[in-house]
Amino acid sequence: MKILFLGSVESPLLGWLVDKGEDVVQTSEIITEVVGIDFLVSYGYRHIIRKDILDELPDRAVNLHISYLPWNRGADPNLWSFIEDTPKGVTIHYLDEGIDTGDVIVQRQVIFEPEGETLATTYRRLHLEIQSLFRKYWLRIRQGKCSRTKQSEQGTFHTSKDKEAVIHLLTNGWETWIDQLQS
């Protein structure tokens, strides 16, 4: 099986997949075709994948998102989970033509103590959690033996531009304490 990994070449999951014997091709560039690809894994990929590409990989294209979907779809999910006090966590979901709207395969809620954490430390922990979840469920996902749950219509969505309205709250950039963001 040939896997297209969309994300950073430095991702620990890329190395993990290769170590597991998977035939992996990696890119962080915009893709225009998936010829010869059997499965697609998106993790930290910054581009929207076209519907015609997803149609070529039905039930074989997944995304790893550091939010507890349907909350905080789109950009900067960690930031918005604290600003809007929404559930925090990680989700692996099927890709569809929407942004972070595909059926959920598995997710894990993550609880943070309000004191002693920054946006940066919570971001790192969420990435460790999503990587752990992926390692645990990859074989089932790969074999098509995982569950799928439709997402609720509720939830939240943000674009990168939305951050402009709250950037003043990041008094110390990503090292801002999360208790300063919570009301």
Which CATH number, 2.20.28.120, 1.10.3720.10, 3.20.20.70, 3.40.50.170, labels domain 2-180? 3.40.50.170
Helix 119-143 to helix 12-19 angle, to the nearest 10 degrees?
30
What distance in Å separates the CA atoms of residue 174 and residue 183, rounded to the nearest whole number? 18
In the chain, which ranges are E strands? 2-7, 23-27, 39-43, 61-65, 73-74, 89-94, 104-109, 157-158, 171-174
Beta strands at 89-94 and 104-109: parallel, antiparallel or unpaired: antiparallel
The pLDDT, as a whole number, for residue 122 is 98
- 42, 21 Cβ separation under 8 angstroms: no
The pLDDT, as a whole number, for residue 114 is 83
Question: Which of 16, 41, 21 lies closest to 141, judged by CA?
Answer: 41
CA 94 → CA 7, 123, 125, 157, distances in Å? Answer: 16, 22, 22, 17
Residue type, 55: D
Q: Enumerate the domain spans of the chain.
A: 2-180
- 87, 110 Cβ separation under 8 angstroms: no
Residue type, 159: T
Beta strands at 61-65 and 23-27: parallel, antiparallel or unpaired: unpaired
Q: 32-45: per-residue pLDDT in tens?
A: 999 999 999 999 99
Per-residue pLDDT tens digits of the chain, which is 183 residues long: 999 999 999 999 999 999 999 999 999 999 999 999 999 999 999 999 999 999 999 999 999 999 999 999 999 999 999 999 999 999 999 999 999 999 999 999 999 998 899 999 999 999 999 999 999 999 999 999 999 999 998 999 999 999 999 999 999 999 999 999 865
Residue type, 93: H
CB atoms within 10 A of CB 115: 8
Interacting residues of 111 by C-beta distance below 8 A, sequence separation 6+: 88
Rg (CA), the chain: 16
Q: Degrees (nearest 5) of the Cα angle 33, 99, 114?
A: 130
Global pTM?
0.96
The pLDDT, as a whole number, for residue 53 is 97
